[in-house]
Amino acid sequence: QKEVEQNSGPLSVPEGAIASLNCTYSDRVSQSFFWYRQYSGKSPELIMSIYSNGDKEDGRFTAQLNKASQYVSLLIRDSQPSDSATYLCAVKPNFGNEKLTFGTGTRLTIIP
C-alpha cells in the first residue's frame, strides 16, 4: 500500500512567521512531488512541484525534498491570512501515466 502521510493539524502560525509543513511517503519509486493548496469546498490548486533532492524556491514558498529519508516539506515565509488553507502533499512515480497519491492534508491557520 503506497502511503503519503501528513500531520493533519491544525497548524496555527502567527502572521509574518514561517509555516513548515511536512510529508513522508512510503513508495521508494516516487519521483515527482507536489504541494497543492485547497481552500474549503474548493479544488486543489498546485503551488509547488519538486523532482530533485534539495530545495526549490518560488516566491514565499520553498519545497524541500530528501529522497533518502522519503521526506518532502513546504516552507511558507512571511505567512499571510490568505495562506490559511489545507495543504495537500501528492506524489507519483515518474514513468507512464501514474496517478497522484495524496496525503490527508495539513490544515494551516495564519493568525493575524
The grid coordinates of residue 70 equal 522519503
For other proteins, which residue of 22, 32, 70, 109 counts as binding (CB under 8 A)? 32
Determine if 39 is a binding residue for other proteins (CB under 8 A): no
The contact pattern for other proteins, residues 59-88, with x = CB under 8 A and - = no contact, is: -----------------------------x
Nearer to other proteins, 19 or 91 (CB): 91
Q: Exposed (0-12), middle (13-18) or buried (19+): which is 104, by Cβ within 10 Å?
A: middle
Residue nearer to other proteins on the CB measure, 25 or 36:
36
Q: How far apart are CA 10 and CA 21, in angstroms?
A: 11
Q: Where are the beta strands (DSSP E) in 39-79?
A: 45-50, 54-58, 61-66, 71-76
Binding site for other proteins (CB under 8 A): 32, 34, 36, 42-46, 49, 51, 88, 90, 94-105
